[in-house]
Amino acid sequence: MKRHINLLFLILTLQFALAGFSASAAWSIQSPQTEIRSFDAEKLDEYRGDKRFQYEVYKAKPKGFLERLWDRIVGWFNSLFGSAITSGVLEILFYALLIAAFVFFIIKLTGIQPTTLFKKAKSEAKPYQVDEEALNDIDFEGEIQLAINQAQWRIAVRLTYLYALKRISDANLIAIRKGKTNHEYLYELSGHSIEQDFASLSFLFDYTWYGHFEANETMVTKAKTHLESIGSLKSSKK
């Protein structure tokens, strides 16, 4: 019995010894040697000079006064309506106002009457022939006022010019004849006190009627001013 116990003790001792040796051998095999490495100073300097490796924090450009004002307006509308599309609607409205302001500027610059843009072109049916009998049949004051009320500025300028011709003819200063030019009428008025007024009125008439340029209320006012000066003429040359 004692012999068996000693044999068992010997076997266990050998097993523990072999297990310790195997663990020590495995540790020595698995444990790598540590290698100490250092950075290449030249490479570091090269990377520092390369823009691709320069990482900087982007600083947003400060907003101007108009941008800040716009942000406040948008924020105010958002707080009122609480809609995510408010900003887009306001942007559309802003550009619409810019376009409207530009159109208004063009209208003022060209002297076009805004009301005439939405009216149908009125027929200029009355030719108002230039001959003595035709001029005697026209109610100039009524026709001129009608043309002004209908914003037919070209007709109003033409009627004012024809009315001046009639007045000058009634004063026996010119002889009206169909086909006669303004230069011929001016030649007959040479040296008369109304010569300059008639010349200016003739220019307005030629500019708007034969030149096909757009007339306006200002031109009609100027034409009527010249007509009033002509209306005070006398029937003899100076």
Whether 141 and 90 share a structural domain:
no
pLDDT beyond 70 at 20: no
Q: Give yes or no for residue 28 having a pLDDT over 60.
A: no
Q: Over range 160-165, report the average pLDDT.
A: 92
Q: Is the pLDDT of residue 205 over 80?
A: yes
- Which of 110, 142, 173 terminates a domain? The answer is 110
Residues 216 and 165 in one domain: yes
Q: Which of 38-52, 72-86, 141-155 has the lowest mean pLDDT?
A: 72-86
pTM equals 0.47
How many domains are contained in the chain?
Answer: 2
Confidence of residue 59 (pLDDT cuts 50, 70, 90): low
Does the pLDDT of residue 172 top 70, yes or no? yes
Q: Which residue has the higher pLDDT, 163 or 102?
A: 163
- Do 172 and 211 have their domain in common? yes
Domain boundary among 75, 110, 145: 110
**72: in domain:** yes
Question: What does the pLDDT look like over 98-140, one tens digit per residue?
Answer: 788 777 767 666 555 555 555 544 444 455 666 666 788 889 9
How far is residue 134's CA from residue 176's CA, in Å, rounded to a whole number?
11
- Give the pLDDT confidence score for residue 137 in this predicted structure: 85
Judgement on whether residues 153 and 185 belong to the same structural domain of the protein: yes
- DSSP codes joined into one string, the chain: -HHHHHHHHHHHHHHHHHHHHHHHHHHHHH-PPP------HHHHHHHHH-GGG------PPPP-HHHHHHHHHHHHHHHHH--TTHHHHHHHHHHHHHHHHHHHHHHHHHT--GGGGGSPPPP-------SHHHHHT--HHHHHHHHHHTT-HHHHHHHHHHHHHHHHHHTTS----TT--HHHHHHHTTTSTTHHHHHHHHHHHIIIIIS-PPP-HHHHHHHHHHHHHHHT--SS--
Is the residue at 53 inside a domain?
Answer: no
Mark whether 169 and 101 lie in a shared domain.
no
pLDDT tens digits, 65-83: 777 777 777 676 666 665 5
Whether residue 21 is contained in a domain is answered as no
151-172 mean pLDDT: 92
Which carries the bigger pLDDT value, residue 238 or residue 187?
A: 187
Residue from 191, 215, 192 nearest 203 by CA: 215
Query: Which structural domain range is residue 213 located in?
Result: 132-231
**Residue 42 domain-assigned (yes or no):** no
Q: Give residue 148's pLDDT.
A: 94
Tokens of 126: 């009355």
Residue bearing the bigger pLDDT, 71 or 30: 71
Q: Is residue 218 part of a domain?
A: yes
Residue with tokens 């924020």: 75
Give the pLDDT band (50/70/90) at residue 144.
Answer: very high
Average pLDDT of the residues in 32-48: 69
